[in-house]
Amino acid sequence: MKLNKAFDKSLWVFHVNAASCNGCDIEIVAALTPRYDVERFGIKLVGTPRHADVLLVTGPVNRQMADRVRRIYEQTPGPKAVLLCGNCGATSGVYYDSYCIEGPFDEFIKKVDPNAIIVYVPGCPVRPEAITMGVVEAWKQLEVLRGEAK
Amino acid sequence: MNEFLEAMIRLGAGAFVMVAVLIVSLVLKGFDRRFAAWLQARVGPPLMQPFYDIAKLWQKENILPERAVSWSFMGAPFLALVGSLVLLLFVPLGPVTGKVEGWMPLLEGYGDLILVVYLLAVPSLMMAIGGFSSGSPLATVGAQRELVMMMSYELPLSVVVLSLGWRLSKLDLGLDALSIADITSKPLWGEVGLLGVIGLLMLAVVFFLIIPSELSKIPFDAPEAETEIGGGILAEYSGNNLAMFYLSDAVKTVAFTSLAVALFFPYGISGNIGELIGTPLSGWAAFGVDLVFWFIKIELVYFFAVTVIRVGAARLRIDRLSWLYLVPLSVLSVVGAVMLYLDTL
C-alpha cells in the first residue's frame, strides 16, 4: 500500500472510550477548542469508525469493553493507526492488576492485529499539547508505511 | 456532420464545466471551513483542506458491510455524484446574461426549472437509498429522516420556483416562463411594484432557508447527525464511496447557491466597472469580471445561508424541522405568491 501525502494533512479521529475515567476525554475536547484548535492540521473528530483514520483510545480495556473495542478496531478501514491516550492504555495505570482489566490496550490490540500501528501518549491525564504531539508521531509511523511501499 | 460537431462541442464543454465546478466547489467548502473557524476565533484548516480530505479518502479501504445490499450500496454514491453533476448542465453557472448575449446553461432549451427541482432531489434520494441498503440501524434512521426532510422542503421550494415563473409569464414579453436563462435575463425586482417586491423578499427568505436543509447542514442536519446517530446515512460508508458523497455534496452546494443567485440576484458588474474605468468592458474581460463576481455572490449566499447559521445554531429535532418547513415556511411562501398575484391586479 502506497500512501500519499494527503494522509498527513487530513487525519480523521474516532474517539473510543475503553473504560476511561473521563480525565483524558476532557483533555481531548480541550484539544478541539479554539485555544488548541487541532482542526488547523486537518484533524477532525468523526462519529463512526468507518470514517476514521485514527482510533483515539482512552482508558484500560475492561472485560465489558474488550470485545467492543476489538470490533471497533476491525470496523475501521485501513490504513489506520491507534493513538493510546493516557497511561492506562500503555500500562493500565492506576488500574494495574485489577480483576476486571483485560489489557493493557497495546498487548490486547497486538493479539488482534500484530502489525497495528500504535502511538503512545503518556500522561494522567494527557495534556492537549501531548495529544497534538502524538498525532505528529502517528504521521511519522505512517511515513514509515509509505517508505516500505517504495 | 454539423450536428455531430455541435454535439461534440457541447460534450467537451460539459466535461470542462464538471471538472471546473468540482474544483470550485471544493474551494468553496474550504472557504466555508475557514470562515467557520474565523467566526469561532480559531485558526482553522488550510483552504485546500477539502482536497486533502478527498485525496486521503481515495486511499482508504472500501468496506462493504456484511448485511448491506451490495449493488445499491455501491451504486448510490456514484449515482449521487452523477445526479449532482448533471444538475450543472441545467443550472446557470457564472455570468449568465440570457439568450441575447450567448452565455447560458449548457443544455438550455432541453430542460427548465421543473427539471432542475426534480434533479435536485436525485442526490438526496440516492443518499437515502444508500442509507437504507447499508444494513445498519443508524443509517436506516438517517435515511428515514432524509426522506422526511425532502418531503418537508419540497413544497415551499416548488411554490417559490413556480410563483417566480408565473410572475414572469405575466410580463407579456414573450419569454419562456420556466426557462432559467429567461428568468436570469429579466430580474423581477425591476418589473414589479411595491407589493411585488415584498412578495419577492418573502420568497427569497424561504429559498435561502431551504439552502441549508437541502445541503443537510446544521441546524438541519438531522439525517447526518454525527453525535446522535453516528453519521446517519453515511455511517457505513468509507473510502472512495464516502469521497463520492462528499464530492456530490460539494457540487450540489455550487449548483444550489448559483440557482439562488440566478433566481434572485442575476446581476453582473462588468457594466458598472466599465463605466468606472472609462472604457466599456466586452468579450472575455467582461466575462472574467462577472465570473469572479459570480463566485463572490455564491460565497456570500453560502456564508449567510449556511456558515453563519451552522456556527451559531444547534441541531433541530426532525419533527420540529419538518414542522418548520411544512407550516411557517410554506405559509410564508404562499403569502409571497399571493403578494405577487395582488401586484398584477
Residue A58 grid cell: 482512552
* Domain presence at residue B207: yes
Contacts of B227 in chain A (CB under 8 A): 47
**Residue A2: what pLDDT?**
62
Reply yes or no on whether the pLDDT at B80 is more than 60.
yes
Contacts of B238 in chain A (CB under 8 A): 50-51, 77
Rounded distance between C-alpha atoms, residue B286 and residue B106, angstroms: 19
* Domain presence at residue B169: yes
* Domain presence at residue B272: no
**Residue B96: what pLDDT?**
60
pLDDT, one tens digit per residue, over A2-45 is 667 777 788 888 888 888 888 888 888 888 888 888 888 888 88
**Residue B99: what pLDDT?**
47
Residue B244 grid cell: 463520492
Mean pLDDT, chain A, as a whole number?
82
Contacts of A73 in chain B (CB under 8 A): none
pLDDT, one tens digit per residue, over B150-170 is 888 888 998 988 888 888 877
pLDDT, one tens digit per residue, over B176-203 is 777 777 777 777 777 778 888 888 889 9
Q: What was the ipTM of the complex prediction?
A: 0.86
Reply yes or no on whether the pLDDT at B100 is more than 50.
no
Signed CA dihedral, A81, A87, A93, A94: sign only = negative
The reply to whether residue A6 touches residue B49, judged by beta carbons under 8 angstroms, is: no
B281 — pLDDT class (breaks 50, 70, 90)? low
Rounded distance between C-alpha atoms, residue B124 and residue B223, angstroms: 10
* Domain presence at residue B155: yes
Note whether B45 contacts A: Cβ–Cβ < 8 A: yes
Reply yes or no on whether the pLDDT at B263 is more than 80.
yes
Contacts of A7 in chain B (CB under 8 A): 56, 59
**Residue B104: what pLDDT?**
65
* Domain presence at residue B12: yes
Lowest-confidence pick of A116-130, B17-31, B173-187 = B173-187
- Over range B107-132, report the average pLDDT: 85
Tell me which of B59, B221, B234, B244 to substitute to probe the interface with A (most A C-beta atoms closer than 10 Å). B59
Distance of residue A17 Cα from the nearest chain B Cα, in angstroms: 14
A149 — pLDDT class (breaks 50, 70, 90)? very low
A1 — pLDDT class (breaks 50, 70, 90)? low
Note whether B67 contacts A: Cβ–Cβ < 8 A: no
Mean pLDDT, chain B, as a whole number?
83
**DSSP track, B30-43:** HHHHHHHHHHTT--
Identify residue B214 by its one-letter amino acid code.
E
Q: Which of B43, B51, B62, B56 is nearest to B27 (CA)?
A: B51
Q: What is the Cα B57 distance to its own chain's centre?
A: 24
Reply yes or no on whether the pLDDT at A150 is more than 60.
no
Which residue of B lies nearest to A46 if distances are taken between CA atoms? B226
Which residue of B lies nearest to A6 if distances are taken between CA atoms? B52
Count the Cβ atoms, other than its own, within 10 Å of residue A34: 12
Percent of chain A residues past pLDDT 90, beyond the cut: 0
**DSSP track, B145-206:** HHHHHHHHHHHHHHHHHHHHHHHHHTT-S---TT-HHHHHHS-GGGTS-HHHHHHHHHHHHH
- Over range A94-109, report the average pLDDT: 81
- Over range B249-258, report the average pLDDT: 89
Residue B157 grid cell: 421550494
Rg of chain A (C-alpha set): 15
Contact criterion met (CB below 8 Å) for B216 and B210 = no
* Domain presence at residue B275: no
pLDDT, one tens digit per residue, over A75-100 is 888 788 888 888 887 888 788 888 88
Contacts of A10 in chain B (CB under 8 A): 49, 52-53, 55-56
Contacts of A139 in chain B (CB under 8 A): none
The pair phi, psi for residue A14, each rounded to 5°, is -110, 130
The DSSP output letter for B345 is -
B173's CB contacts (< 8 A; 6+ apart) are B186
The pair phi, psi for residue B85, each rounded to 5°, is -70, -35
B52's CB contacts (< 8 A; 6+ apart) are A6, A9, A10, A42
Contacts of B231 in chain A (CB under 8 A): 46-48, 50-51
- The domain tally of chain B equals 1
Contact criterion met (CB below 8 Å) for A139 and A52 = no
- Over range B94-104, report the average pLDDT: 57
The reply to whether residue B55 touches residue A6, judged by beta carbons under 8 angstroms, is: yes
- Over range A122-133, report the average pLDDT: 85
* Domain presence at residue B271: no
Which residue of A lies nearest to B227 if distances are taken between CA atoms? A47
B297 — pLDDT class (breaks 50, 70, 90)? confident
Count the Cβ atoms, other than its own, within 10 Å of residue B245: 24
Note whether B38 contacts A: Cβ–Cβ < 8 A: no
Note whether A36 contacts B: Cβ–Cβ < 8 A: no
* Domain presence at residue B127: yes
**Residue B87: what pLDDT?**
86
Range of the domain at B290: 2-264+280-344
**Residue B183: what pLDDT?**
75
The reply to whether residue A51 touches residue B42, judged by beta carbons under 8 angstroms, is: no
Tell me which of A48, A54, A145 to substitute to probe the interface with B (most B C-beta atoms closer than 10 Å). A48
Note whether B2 contacts A: Cβ–Cβ < 8 A: no
Element of type H or E holding A54: strand A54-58
Give chain A's domains with CATH numbers: 6-149 (3.40.50.12280)
Rg of chain B (C-alpha set): 21
β-pairing verdict for A54-58 and A81-85: parallel
B212's CB contacts (< 8 A; 6+ apart) are B218, B219, B220, B305, B306, B309, B310
Reply yes or no on whether the pLDDT at A148 is more than 60.
no
**Residue A146: what pLDDT?**
66
